[in-house]
Amino acid sequence: MRRLPMMVALYATAALAQAVPKETPPTPGPPTNFSLPEIRRFALPNGMRVRLMQYGNTPKVAIRLVTQTGNIDESADRVWLANLTGDMMQQGTTTRSAEEIARQAALMGGTLSVNAGMNETWIGTDVFTESATNAVALIADVARNPRFPESEMARIKTDALRKLSFESSDPQSLTDAKLRQVFYPNQPYGRPFPTPEMLQGYTLDQIRQFHDRNFGAARSRLYVVGRFDQAAIESAIRREFAGWKAGPPPAVPVVSPASRPGVYLIDRPGAVQSTMLIALPVIGVVPGSPDYRPLVVANAVLGGSFMSRITSILREQKGYAYSPVSYVQMMLGTGYWAEDADVTTNVTGASIRVVIDEIDTLRAQPITADELRGFQNFLAGIFVLFNSSRDSITVQLSSLDLYGLGADYLRDYVKSIYAVTPADLQRVMQKYIDPARLAIVVVGDKKAIAEQLKPFGTIVE
Partner 1 sequence: MRRAIVSAIAVVICAACATTTPAPKAAPAFSVPLEYHTLPNGLRVVLWRDQTSPRVTVAVYYGVGFRVEPKNRTGFAHLFEHLMFQGSHNLGKGEFMKLVRLNGGVAGGSTAFDFTHYHEIVPSNMLRTILWAEADRMKGLDITEDALTSQKGVVSNEIRVNVLNRAYGGFPWLDMPQAANVNWYNAHNFYGDFADLEAASLEDVHKFFKTYYAPNNASLAIVGDFDPAQTMSWVNQYFGVIPPQPQPPRADVSEPRQEQERRRSKIDDKATRPAIAIAYHAPEPESDAYYALALINQILAAGKDSWLYEDIVRKRGLTAGIDATMNSYGTMFDIKGPTLYTISLFHDANRSPEEILTAIDQNIERLRTQPVDAATLDRARVKMRSMFYNDLDADYGFGRANLLEAFALFYDDPSRINRVESRFAAVTPELIRKTAEEYLRPSNRTILTIVPGRK
Residues 373-392 that bind partner 1 (CB under 8 A): 373-375, 377-378, 380-382, 384-385, 387-390, 392
For partner 1, the binding residues in 118-137 under the rule CB under 8 A are 126-131, 134
Tell whether residue 317 is a contact of partner 1 (CB under 8 A).
Answer: yes
Cβ burial 79-91 (10 Å sphere, 16+ → b, else e): bbbbbbbbbbbbb
98 sits near partner 1 (criterion: CB under 8 A):
yes
Beta bridge partners of 329: 336
Among positions 26, 197, 205, 415, the unique one binding partner 1 when judged by CB under 8 A: 26
Q: Which is nearer to partner 1, 57 or 75 (CB)?
A: 57
Which one of residues 110, 124, 216, 247 is an interface residue with partner 1 (CB under 8 A)?
Answer: 110
Do 287 and 396 meet the contact criterion of CB atoms below 8 Å apart?
Answer: no
Is residue 350 close enough to count as binding partner 1 by CB under 8 A?
no
Nearest to partner 1 of 68, 104 (CB atom): 104
Residue 109 in contact with partner 1, rule: CB under 8 A: yes
CB of 273 to partner 1, least distance (A): 5
Lay out the sheet containing 60-67: strands in order across: 40-43, 49-54, 220-226, 60-67, 121-128, 113-116
Distance of closest approach, residue 436 Cβ to partner 1, in angstroms: 29
Q: Give the residue with the Cβ less far from partner 1, 60 or 221.
A: 60
Residue with smaller CB distance to partner 1, 48 or 105: 105
Residue 73 or 87: the one with the smaller Cβ distance to partner 1 is 87
CA atoms within 13 A on the CB side of 268: 21
Asked if residue 273 binds partner 1 (CB under 8 A), the reply is: yes
Shortest separation between residue 104's beta carbon and partner 1, angstroms: 4
Q: If binding is defined by CB under 8 A, does position 70 make contact with partner 1?
A: no
Which region among 12-20, 215-223, 253-261, 288-296 touches partner 1 (by CB under 8 A)? 12-20
CA-based torsion, 287, 325, 189, 181: positive or negative: negative
Contact in structure between 266 and 426 (CB atoms under 8 Å): no
Residue 165 CB, nearest approach to partner 1 (Å): 5
Q: Measured from the CB atom, is 96 or 147 closer to partner 1?
A: 96
Stretch that binds partner 1, among 64-72, 105-113, 180-188, 205-213 (CB under 8 A): 105-113
Minimum distance from residue 253 beta carbon to partner 1 (Å): 30
**422 contributes a contact to partner 1 by CB under 8 A:** no
Integer angstrom CA distances of residue 236 from 216, 225, 241, 273: 18, 15, 8, 53
Is residue 17 near partner 1 by the rule CB under 8 A? yes
If one asks whether residue 56 binds partner 1 (CB under 8 A), the answer comes out as: yes
> Which residues in 171-230 contact partner 1 (CB under 8 A)?
171
- Residue 16 sits in the site that holds partner 1 (CB under 8 A): no
296-315 binders of partner 1 (CB under 8 A): 305-307, 312, 315
- Residue 388 phi/psi, 5° resolution? -125, 25
CB of 440 to partner 1, least distance (A): 19
Residues in region 230-249 near partner 1 by CB under 8 A:
none
Total binding residues toward partner 1, as defined by CB under 8 A = 105
443 vs 431: CA distance, rounded Å: 29
Q: Which of 93, 275, 426, 452 forms a contact with partner 1 (CB under 8 A)? A: 275
Of 137-166, binders to partner 1 (CB under 8 A) are 138, 154-155, 158-159, 162-163, 165-166
CA dist 114 and 86 (Å) reads: 5
